[in-house]
Structure 1
Amino acid sequence: MSQPVSAPSPAFVQQLNFHARDASNEAAALQAAFALGLFGHLPETGSGEPVSLETLAKRVGGTWRGTRSVVEPLVALGFVHLEEGRGYSLRASTVAFLRDEAFTTRLKEARRWWHPLALLSQAVRGGGPVEWGGESWDVLGWYRALFLSPAPSIPSAEARDFHDRFARNPARTLALVTAAELDVLVKLVRGPVPLEVLAREVGASAEALEVLLGALAAMGIVQAQETGWGFTEAAGRALDAQSLPYFQRALPATMAYWEALGHLDEAVREQRFRLDLRDPETARRIYQENASRISSIFASHLRLSRQAATLVRSMRPLAQARVLDVGTGSGVWGAAFGLADPTTHVTYLDSPHVLDAVRPHLAKLKLEARSELWAGDCLSVDYGESRYDVILLPQIIPALPPSELPSFFARLARALRPGGLLLISGYLLTDRRDGPLDALYFALRRYVTNEGDVLSLPEFRALLGPVGLTDARGFDMPIQQVVIAHRGDVAWPDVAPSA
C-alpha cells in the first residue's frame, strides 16, 4: 500500500515564490537606495530631525513618486524608520554597518553584477565568462563567491541580512530562471540524475552546471545524492509534475522587469523608464503576454474569483444583474460572476488582442450567450448612466496613471445603478503605506514601468467619496484583497472586513 504524499511546507513554498517573483524587486529597492545616496541623507533615529519625503526627494535629486517607491519597502524591511507626520530616519543598526567602508565596498561590487547576472544561462551552457557592456564577466566565479565559498566576515546580523538581500537575492532569482530555461527542474522531477547525464541532457558544461546546482543547493532546492543530483525532500513536495509548470510560468514575467529594475535609480532621477508601459507597442506586448500567462492558470484563478462573487451575492442578488468587467485580462473575474447566477449578463472590456484570449474561456464555460466583448480603452470609453449593477476592476488600478483616477471613478459611479457595487481587486496597502511587502514590491514594479500605483483604503476612500461612493470597505480574499464601494444603499455582509 503506497504511503500518502506529504503536503509541501507552506514556509518553503512561500520562500520559493518569493525568490521567483519578489526577491529581485527587494534587491532593486536596496540597490537603488544605495546608488541614490538615500541612506546618507537620513539622520539616525532620535539624533536628528526626520526627513520628509519631499525633502528626501530633493536631496537625492529624484521625483516624489520615485523616491517613495524606493523608500517604502525599506521601511517595511526595518532598515528605515518612518515617524508618522514627520518623516524618515535610519535605525541605529543600519547606520552602523553603512558606515563600515569594507562593507559598503562589498555593496558597490555586488551592484555591478545586476545586468551580467542575467547572462547566467549563457555562462552555464558555455562554461566560461560572458560579454556584457564591452567587458568580460566571470558570472560563474561570482556565483562561487556568493554561494560556494566561505561567507565573508560581516560585522553584525543586521549587516549580513542586508548584504544577503542586496547581493544574493537577485542571484537566487536568476538561478531559478536559468534552471527553468535549461529544463534542469523538469529533469529532476523524475528523480536524481548523475551530473554528466544531466549536463548532456540540458546542453550545459558539467563544471558550470555544478555551480548552478550548488547555488540551488544553498537555497535548499537540490542536493547531491548517491545516484546524482535531485530535489530535496521539501522541494520534491513543492515542485512535483503538476505544480512545477505553474511555478515556472512566473519566471518570464520576472525577467520582463529585470533591465528596468536595474535602472531604477535612473528612473527616479531622470524619469527614464526602460520598460515604459505608456508606450502603446510595449504595453501591447507585455499585456498580451500577461493575458496568455494568466489564461494558462485560469482554472485556479476562477476558483478564487468565485469567492468574491459569493461575497457580492451576500450583499445583493445577482439574478438578472448586468456586470461590467473593466480591464478583464483573461476574463476570469467576469466569468466567476457569470457562473454565479444563470441569468447574469457580463460585459468584458479590454483591448482587442486581450479579448482574443477571453473567447475560448467563455466558450468552454458555456457563457457566450450571456456575454459581450467590448473592445476599447477603459480611460476613454463612454460607460453611460445607470447601466450596471456590478462593476469589476480586476487589478487594473495599478496600471492607470494616478492623475486619471478621479475622472475614471466619476464615470464608473455614474454608470452604476441604484444599489450598485464597485468591486476593486488587487493589493491593498496599510494606512501608513508600510506593508504588506509583496504589495510594496508590486507597487515598485508599477513605478518602474511608468504606470499607476497601489493604494491604501484611505486613499481609495478619498477618491471614491467625492463621486458618491461614500461607503467602502476592504475584504481579505485568497492571494489578494478586494475593496467594495457603494452609495450607502446596500447592507454590508456579516463578514469581518480587513480594514
Structure 2
Amino acid sequence: MEPRQCITCVIKATDYAAYWFWVTSTAGGVGEGGAPGSGSERLAAPSVLTDPHSAQLGRPGARFGRRPKMSSPQEQGFRLLTEYTNGFMLSQIHKCLFQGPLTIPWSPHAEAELLVSTTIVSEFLRNGHSVFHGSTVSSEITSLPPRASVSVVPRTLAHRWPLVSEVLFAACELGVFDLLSEALEPLGSAAVAVRLGTSSHGTQLLLDTCVSLKLLQVETSRGKALYQNTELSSTYLVRASPKYQGNMLLYLARTTYLCWGHLAQAVRDGKNRYQEAFGVPSDELFTAIYRSEGERVQFMRGLQDVWSVSGRAVLQAFDLSPFRLICDVGGCSGALAKECTALYPGCRVTVFDTPDVVRAAKEHFPFLEDDRIRFWEGDFFEDPLPEAELYILARVLHDWSDGRCARLLARIRRACKPGGAVLVIESLLDADGRGPLTTQLYSLNMLVQTEGRERTPAQYLALLGPAGFRDVQYRRTGGLYDAVLGRMGLPAGCS
C-alpha cells in the first residue's frame, strides 16, 4: 500500500470513528440503533455493478451509506463486542495521529483533511463539547468545512479504547466466562479467584469492570456481590456456545495487536510490521500467523468462530443452490464449507489450502468431516485449482495487492466450469470509502499485517471485470462480512 493511501485510510477511519461515537453516545450507547444511515432490517435487492462511475454504486441520501440494521438483542450484543475488540485499533490510530509527525510526502488535499480530522478530534478530547448541541466551539473549528463538523469524540475516550480491549482479552484468557457458565449459581469474587488461581484483588477489579462493560451482571445477597454472565457473554464468550468468539479474540491479542503497536511506521513506509513484531520478513505474510503449530490452530479456530456467526448470512446473500460443485479457495479448517453443505445439501465442496493447513484441519477438526467435503492441498497462486462451478474467496482478496488479486482471479476464471461464478466474501467499504468504521479498521489491519486492504464495491468490480466475470452484484448483510458475486453466464434457475 502506498504511503499516501495509508494516510487517507487513517484520515477516513478517524473521521468516521468520531462520527460513529457521536451517534452511539447520543442514541443510547454502542450497539444500539445500528450504524449511521442504517436502512431496512430486510436484506435489500442486490446492487448491480456495471460502471465504476455509476450512481448505483452509491447510496443517495445517506452520508455514510445505508446498511441493514442489526436490531435483535443478540445482534446488538455482537456489535457491542465488536466495538470492544476494536478499541485497541482505535487507540493506535489516535497515537499515530497525535504522537509525532508523519514524515512522508502527501498532497495538499490530504494534509488539509488530516488537519480537519486531528483538530476536531483534539478539541473534543480536551473538552467533550458537541457542535450538535450548541456547545461552545473554538473559532478554528467553526471555520472548518461543513463535512468535518460531524466529527465528535466524547471526553477521554481515546485513552479508554485500549483498556477496554485488554479487559475483554484478559477475561477470555483467564476463563472467567467459562467458569461462571459452568457454575451452578452466581459466584463471589473470592470463589472466582480461588477457582481460577488468580489474586483476589485483581479478580475483584476485573469482574467489576466487566460488569460496567455489560459482560457480566452482579446481584447482591446478604451484602455479598455475586457475578454471572450476561446474554452477550453467554452467547459469544463461553467456549461451549456454538457462537463462541474467544479463539479469534485471543488470536487478535497475541498476533494482530502486536503488529498494531507499529501502526505509525506502517503508515510511513506502507509495509506490514511482521519484522518488528515477530522477526519475520514482511513478504512472508502467513509465516507469522502460522509461526508455530499452536498459533496455526489458534488462527484456524478463530476462523471457525467467525463463520459460526457470519457464515450463514454471507452464503444466503445469493441463491447458490444451482452450483453443485464448489471450491472454497483458502478454506482453512472447512468451517465455511460445512455451513455451505448445511445450507445447500445438494452441493459438494472442495477446500483448497496449503499442505500444513490441510493436515492441521484433518488432525484438529475431525468433527467437520462430511462425505460432501474434501480437502485439496496446494498454493493457489502456483498449483492447479480444482475444477468447480463456484469458487468462494472468503477473507482472501483483502490479504493481497490488486496485482496479486488479479492474478488469482484470472487463474480461477481459467479453472471455472462454463456457467460458473466466483463469490467474494469480504467486509465492504461504503462507496466513498469513508465507512463503516469496522471495515476501515480492518483495512488498516491489512496494512499492518498483509499487503492488501479492504475495498469498495466498485474496486471489486475493477478486479472482477478484467478477469472475465460479468453481471457483478453485491449484497450487504448487516454483519461483519458482505458478498460480491461475479458470473460467467448463468446456470439455469440461478438468481
Q: TM-score range by the shorter chain?
A: 0.5 to 0.7
Give 1:493 shift. Answer: 6.2
> What is the match of residue 482 of structure 2?
481
> What is the match of residue 33 of structure 2?
none
Q: Provide closer, same or farther for how the CA distance between residues 362 and 459 of structure 1 changes in structure 2, counting only shifts above 3 A.
A: same
Distance in 2 (CA, whole Å) between partners of 1:97 and 1:298 is: 35
Gaps of 5+ in 2: 1-71, 132-150
SS in 1 for 2:429: coil
Instruction: Check if 1:199 corresponds to 2:193.
Output: yes
| Equivalent residue runs for 1:24-423 within 5 Å | 24-37=88-101, 51-53=108-110, 56=111, 88=113, 90-91=115-116, 95=119, 98=122, 154=127, 156-157=129-130, 161=153, 163-189=155-181, 190=183, 191-222=185-216, 225-227=219-221, 228-231=224-227, 236-240=230-234, 244-245=238-239, 246-255=244-253, 256-270=255-269, 271=271, 273=273, 274-275=276-277, 278-279=283-284, 281-285=287-291, 287-295=296-304, 303-304=312-313, 307=316, 311-313=319-321, 317-318=322-323, 321-338=324-341, 344-359=347-362, 367-368=370-371, 370-383=372-385, 387-423=387-423
> What is the match of residue 11 of structure 1?
76
8 Å contact from structure 1 (residues 266, 272) kept in 2: no
% identical aligned pairs: 21
Distance in 2 (CA, whole Å) between partners of 1:297 and 1:398 is: 16
Q: Which has the higher contact order (CA 8 A, sep 6+)?
A: 2
Distance in 1 (CA, whole Å) between partners of 2:102 and 2:259 is: 19
SS in 2 for 1:466: coil
8 Å contact from structure 2 (residues 328, 392) kept in 1: yes
Distance in 1 (CA, whole Å) between partners of 2:179 and 2:338 is: 36
Give 1:352 shift. Answer: 1.6
Counterpart code for 1:11: Q
Give 1:35 shift. Answer: 2.5
Q: Provide closer, same or farther for how the CA distance between residues 326 and 91 of structure 1 changes in structure 2, counting only shifts above 3 A.
A: same
Give 1:485 shift. Answer: 0.3
Give 1:359 shift. Answer: 3.8
Q: Deviations over 1:369-416 (max 9, x none)?
A: x544221111112348xx431111111111223331222212212222
Distance in 1 (CA, whole Å) between partners of 2:165 and 2:113 is: 30
Distance in 2 (CA, whole Å) between partners of 1:362 and 1:187 is: 24
Give 1:365 shift. Answer: 6.4
Q: Deviations over 1:256-298 (max 9, x none)?
A: 2222111111222244613567425324235542213334676
Distance in 1 (CA, whole Å) between partners of 2:128 and 2:482 is: 40
Give 1:327 shift. Answer: 0.4
Q: Provide closer, same or farther for how the CA distance between residues 436 and 491 of structure 1 changes in structure 2, counting only shifts above 3 A.
A: farther
Higher mean C-alpha displacement, 356-365 vs 458-467: 356-365
Give 1:423 shift. Answer: 0.7
> What is the match of residue 47 of structure 1?
none
Counterpart code for 1:332: A
Distance in 1 (CA, whole Å) between partners of 2:424 and 2:411 is: 15
SS in 1 for 2:327: strand
Q: Deviations over 1:425-460 (max 9, x none)?
A: 121111211112111111121111133211111111
- Cα-Cα RMSD: 3.7
8 Å contact from structure 2 (residues 335, 368) kept in 1: no
> What is the match of residue 440 of structure 2?
440
Gaps of 5+ in 1: 1-6, 43-49, 57-86, 105-153, 495-499
8 Å contact from structure 2 (residues 173, 250) kept in 1: no
Give 1:351 shift. Answer: 1.1
Distance in 1 (CA, whole Å) between partners of 2:167 and 2:340 is: 40
SS in 1 for 2:153: helix
Q: What TM-score, normalized to structure 2?
A: 0.67
Q: What TM-score, normalized to structure 1?
A: 0.66
Higher mean C-alpha displacement, 390-399 vs 473-482: 473-482
8 Å contact from structure 1 (residues 345, 371) kept in 2: yes
Q: Deviations over 1:178-212 (max 9, x none)?
A: 22233333344444433333333333333333333
8 Å contact from structure 2 (residues 248, 303) kept in 1: no
Counterpart code for 1:267: A
